[in-house]
Amino acid sequence: MAIKFSTLDERRVILIAIDGALDADQVEEMRRQSVELAGETGITNVVFDLRGLTSLANGDPAAIVDLGNGYKTQNIPFWANTAILMPVDQRAFEQMELLHEIEISRGRGLLEYVESVDEAVAWFEEMDGRVRSSVASGRSA
């Protein structure tokens, strides 16, 4: 398993690429590092490239539920935008869908499945435009 963090400074994006199997401890550490990197850089748009993910928490549904339930304890900002390139492996894809469903039900912020980093950046720009428009008109986003 490999987790690679990088920043696309010109696009104001944190990119996290994951290959191989990911266990629960690694997910928690990745979340912690993500929050730390966002705090250091001020970047709140995050792309997770999960195309190489082969397994989450050994495919154990109870462990995946626990990870989803523990999402809020990681102090991930609600206002962070997250774009996800989903796993190619069908089993890992289903495991991530379950995790995201639980996280969303626990108050996860905006999340969008995308096909490329460029599509993610376009979505971030769209969300930024909506927020600016809402602020300018006095509405909340």
Q: In this predicted model, what pLDDT tens digit does every residue of 21-73 receive, in sequence order?
A: 999 999 989 988 988 898 899 998 999 999 999 999 999 999 999 999 887 66
**Length, in residues, of the chain:** 141
Give CA–CA dist 62/50, Å, rounded.
21
Q: What is the pTM of this model?
A: 0.86
Q: Which ranges in the chain belong to alpha helices (H)? A: 24-41, 61-69, 90-105, 117-137
Q: Does the pLDDT of residue 136 top 60, yes or no?
A: no
Exposure string (b/e) for 109-126, b if CB count within 10 Å is 16 or more?
Answer: ebeebbeebeebbebbee
Q: How distant is the alpha carbon of residue 43 from its chain centre?
A: 13
Give yes or no for a contact between 64 and 106, defined as CB atoms under 8 angstroms apart. Answer: no
Give CA–CA dist 31/103, Å, rounded.
13
Give CA–CA dist 35/89, Å, rounded.
27
Mean pLDDT, residues 110-131: 89
Name the pLDDT band for 76 (thresholds 50, 70, 90). low
